[in-house]
Structure 1
């Protein structure tokens, strides 16, 4: 029997009240930006309109640079919806970068990978010390690409993929691919699970226990594939959390997720 791949990736349809969440996140992020925390907004890392990031500073000299890359299936949202998720890492003493990137159909996923690499390199020029990056959903894919061999992000020591998509080939069978424009060559080339990890970068694949089975499979897949290389990867199922509640821990300096990210 052929799988319904559109249903496999339909997160909101299985989370009660999901339609109200974008407005809630937008308000929480706005409240955070107005809370008095020091933020440098819309720092350019390229020439495209969405090639900008926000940089949130801790109260002391930063321990290093933490980067959070938003999700939205490479087609939706931007950095301004997620500012409040910087607080856990900021409270632990890290400067936190939240980049936007050009969305499909205006950019291909391979271009987004290049943009995230450029954003991290640019932000690294403002902050000394180690670099740790995390991303959610499509953002989890983009940060995991930075852990692949040959990406050349200096000082990068740890990647946390939260509900990330690590094999893009099933997306060819979804309606969203009319916007993404993936073909088999690009889907294969941009799938971290099919690529060689950098032995110098530690990776954590994190997923909610109440997520759609496909997201749990994608997390386990990365662990199984990369365990075949000389690399440090761990997988964690966060029991009780769905695709959206799983990232709430980033707001809390003492949460297991924040400690996995920057602890």
Structure 2
């Protein structure tokens, strides 16, 4: 029998997580101090519905897509201020990147957050007229997959508004979370967990998804990425599984801040190929 409480308790699995999270905040602040950025741009009226836009030297490029980073925290913790440096890799490769904020549980529910991120993506199109390549970590990986699977044409937006995404340590099957302590704030019912799980969505054929996950993560996080690659791949999505060395849940995103890393080069290629 799987101990879901242990499998999804990343902070217990990585005892050094406080120092790693402090490092995120420090590196994010340092990047903001030198970056060309438009900070705290509202996309809706509530306090947390804002984003930061980071631009390369020379401003918004004429070609290529816009990157959108979506943070993790199990839909109930953290904010964009911890993750500004996740835009550094793209920006130093000449590409723009937005870093999203969104409302948190228990003030809202996961379907509300999914809809907020969809509305943010629509806002980005209306403002910048660029396709969006989403990339996100943990809960942000779930929201990345949500954007790929959204019927944008039904919303009066380009059908392939989000043609590609990179989900890092993503959550694609939410049912295991129901009987964990995480659900005290998430308040997921069985029906809601199924409806909000990307593996239960119609696979968005013609899109591309890379599911990256640390080789040192729990067996459940490894399973989550393997399953979405399999299910969506059979549904016509160009999927790829990227198991990254011995990285844990907190170190696996570090390459995004490095403009020369393999993960940044892959992501930059996704943006350049989106137009």
Task: Give the structure-1-normalised TM-score.
Answer: 0.95
Query: 1: distance between equivalents of 2:262 and 2:248?
Result: 16
TM-aligned CA deviation for residue 17 of structure 1: 1.7
The residue that corresponds to 2:267 in the other structure is 261
Moved over 6 A (4+): none
In the alignment, the residues of structure 1 paired with residue 206 and residue 52 of structure 2 have an alpha-carbon distance, to the nearest angstrom, of: 27
Q: Distance in 1 between matches of 2:131 and 2:206?
A: 12
The answer as to whether partners of 2:138 and 2:168 remain within 8 angstroms in 1 is yes
168, 171, 192: which is aligned to 1:162?
168
Distance in 1 of aligned mates of 2:72 and 2:225: 15
RMSD of aligned Cα (Å):
1.4
What residue number does 1:193 align with?
A: 199
* Count of residues paired in the alignment: 261
Q: Which residue of 2 aligns with 1:206?
A: 212
Quick check: 1:84 aligned with 2:80?
A: no
Residues 113 and 21 (structure 1 numbering): CA distance in 2 closer, same or farther, change over 3 Å? Answer: same
Instruction: Give 5+ residue unaligned stretches, structure 1.
Output: none
Question: How far apart, CA to CA, are the structure 1 residues paired with 2:260 and 2:215?
Answer: 20
Residue 273 of structure 2 corresponds to which residue in structure 1? Answer: none
**Aligned-partner Cα distance in 2 for 1:105–1:208:** 28
CA contact (8 A) 2:144 2:166 kept: yes
User: Residues of 2 paired with 1:65 and 1:182: CA distance?
Assistant: 32
- Per-residue CA shift, 1:24-67, capped at 9, x if unaligned? 211111111112x1111111101111000000011134232000
Mapping for residues 100-249 of structure 1, pairs under 5 Å: 100-152=101-153, 154=158, 155-249=161-255
How far does residue 117 in structure 1 lie from its aligned partner after superposition? 0.8
**DSSP-derived class of the 1:106 partner:** coil
Offset, 1:16: 4.1
CA drift at 1:214: 0.8
Please tell me whether residue 71 in structure 1 is matched to residue 72 in structure 2.
Answer: yes
Q: 1 CA distance for matches of 2:91 and 2:20?
A: 23
CA distance in 2, matches of 1:129, 1:194: 28
Cα separation, 2, equivalents of 1:20 and 1:253: 23
Q: How does 1:52-71 map to 2 (within 5 A)?
A: 52-60=50-58, 61-62=60-61, 63-71=64-72
CA deviation after TM superposition for structure 1 residue 194, in Å: 1.3
Q: Is the Cα–Cα contact under 8 Å of residues 56 and 92 in structure 2 kept in the other structure?
A: yes
Taking structure 1 as reference, are residues 52 and 149 closer, same or farther at Cα in structure 2, changes over 3 Å only?
closer
Query: CA separation in 2, counterparts of 1:177 and 1:12?
Result: 16
Using the size of structure 2 for normalisation, the TM-score is 0.91
Q: Unaligned 5+ residue runs, structure 2?
A: 270-275
Could you tell me how far apart the structure 1 residues matched to 2:253 and 2:99 are? 14
Aligned twin of 1:49: 47
**Aligned residue number for residue 20 of structure 1:** 19
Cα distance in 2 for partners of 1:40, 1:169 equals 38
